[in-house]
Structure 1
């Protein structure tokens, strides 16, 4: 009798285990057809008139490669964080984007990089700011999230931490690109012209000469650049931050952002990219967001979290929430740029209020689209 009861108990437990495993397996598969990855490569004055066919082809190829790398991770069962890292690595390693290899120069002639990551399941996050020797800052941000008790590390401390964790460290010269260096020199020339204009036109420009100088400066293009290719590299009117948001087969969201900041920036300036809630945010209950634009406005408006908050507290859908923040609130406050976002159902949003934004997405069935211009 005891043997029969023991056998019955074992069968019952086995059945319960099978049912539990089946439920877990079924839940894990619920999001397999919804896996989604979205990327951006910067927003600003990006128009067909400023883009050569060769340059556009190069951008599209780089963005498609980033989509492929991230998508491959998701299709093989990788996590959203792993997919975001893979996609951003592609853009960090390309001189086309203002992140990693293509980072712009500060006023001092340095390349200072920022990055952040956040996962929606646990709300864990990591960021690095003002680093100059870490080849792939997004990986350093992930290391901060996963292997430290902190959220953000900056400067030499962040670099030491990355080195201790075995991340690739490079000489600062690795980040040098001729186009970015020339952009710095021209930005300084433009800055000097504006200062000269202030001195001559406003303080001593009451006479005919001063008035003429003022009129001539107003006639000059605001960019101060000589060619369409130069314009592509101009930060301030083109914000070259890169980012990625993803939904994996487990239903988890993640957002990552990486940037080289703004050309000619001074005094250790940090933008919105590494600031959780401003340029980067993820929450499984709402969405994952990565932003690109004039960082100061995104910080003051807490753009990424604001989109999530509208969804959480007001029940607004992803597209409407993103549009409200980027197309209304941000515009009213004078901020330029855009965001990419995805929710737990695989819905995406890519609003921007500038002339253009490098952006693209790929869905679970392999459908993809890469867009650059407003029209």
Structure 2
């Protein structure tokens, strides 16, 4: 074993014209989350505790698309989803359709540990949350002024692509007509606004135990009831004996490619290393989709891969390596 390692992401697909101050804001948040994870790993917390802790921090901060700051449905509400997986015994928990749970990733863990099931959704997940006594808030808590503006734009034009939420001050200057000339197609159909800033964390602790967690609000202007890849074990999240993976980007493409599980499968069946496996999966399993992922191995390695124009990401390892980046 090569010691502990951690990786975190805030979504794949970044506006190349993203203002510098927003880039720095994102980097500061990723750095803060890495420091939280590093401290926990140095304190010998199990990897499963570390990924939950870090993703909770990302859900609480409104910068990315999870928890507070989640993308809005076509009805102007928030429906969140999350999953978590513990590598040693491949235990997992997932939730979808959450509207009042402050930290979806923690409810996913409770599904894993306190229920006989792996996945709960909508009213059943909300009822389970009440039974478990988790912190609940009004749906308005998750809604930001920025996202209300984006939803308004989404409803004014049939096809707008946002790789990243633009500052509120820039909403009025956005050219709806120009964006409408370049529709984004998902599963063969045009969608209005694509907000891929899902968050995730993967970690391996000093005993070689891998874990992964992913959380998101989904697509801006998505249909109520839509479920993406983030809560789907093997697609958006996976952890086993060899590695832990969290994905982000075009959910429908990630689902089709069972992206997260494929990284582990390539390592297991083809005998490739972590980065080689990530590169293979991103190149061969996404078809025409756009996505990215982060990964750690039980040997203390970190890796990432994406075919978008950027991905918010950060890494740290026990030997002192630490990196936070957005672009290639």
Task: Specify which structure has the higher proportion of strand.
Answer: 2
Q: State which of 238, 246, 265 in structure 2 corresponds to 1:309.
A: 265
1:262 aligns with 2:219: yes
- Shift in Å at residue 367 of structure 1? 2.8
Whether the 8 Å CA contact 1:290–1:340 is kept in 2: the answer is yes
Q: How does 1:5-20 map to 2 (within 5 A)?
A: none
CA RMSD of aligned residues (A): 1.9
Of 357, 362, 372, 2:311 maps to 357
Whole-angstrom CA distance in 2 between matches of 1:270 and 1:219: 29
From 209, 215, 234, the equivalent of 1:252 is 209
Whole-Å separation in 1 of the counterparts to 2:20 and 2:224 = 37
When residues 174 and 344 of structure 1 are mapped into structure 2, their CA distance, relative to the original with a 3 A threshold, is same
* Unaligned 5+ runs, structure 1: 1-30, 194-216, 225-233
Unaligned runs of 5+ in 2: 161-174, 183-191
Q: 1:143 aligns with which of 110, 133, 155?
A: 110
Is this contact kept in 2: 1:37–1:244, CA < 8 A?
A: yes
Distance 1:323 1:120 in 2: 21
Give the superposition deviation at 1:287: 1.1
Aligned to 1:174: 141
Q: Indicate which of 223, 230, 238 corresponds to 1:273.
A: 230
Task: Tell me if 1:190 matches 2:157.
Answer: yes
SS in 2 for 1:239: coil
Distance 1:186 1:267 in 2: 18
Question: Separation in 1 of the partners of 2:210 and 2:233?
Answer: 15
Equivalent residue for 1:43? 12
Q: CA deviation at 1:327?
A: 2.3
Q: Per-residue displacement from partner, 1:205-238 (whole Å, max 9, x unpaired)?
A: xxxxxxxxxxxx99823599xxxxxxxxx951x4
Q: Offset at 1:192?
A: 8.0
Structure 1 distance, partners of 2:146, 2:301, is 37
SS of the residue 2:231 aligns to: coil
Matches within 5 A, 1:105-144: 105-144=72-111
Q: From 287, 290, 293, give the equivalent of 1:339.
A: 293
Higher helix share: 1
Determine helix, strand or coil for the equivalent of 2:85: strand
Q: Find out whether 1:299 has 2:255 as its counterpart.
A: yes
**Take 2:181 and 2:31, find their aligned partners in 1: how far apart are those partners?**
29
Spell out structure 1 runs of 4+ moving beyond 2 A: 221-224
Residues 106 and 265, structure 1, Cα contact 8 Å, conserved in 2: yes
For residues 96-130 of structure 1, the C-alpha deviation after alignment (integer angstroms, 9 at most, x for no partner) is 10000010100011100000000110100000001
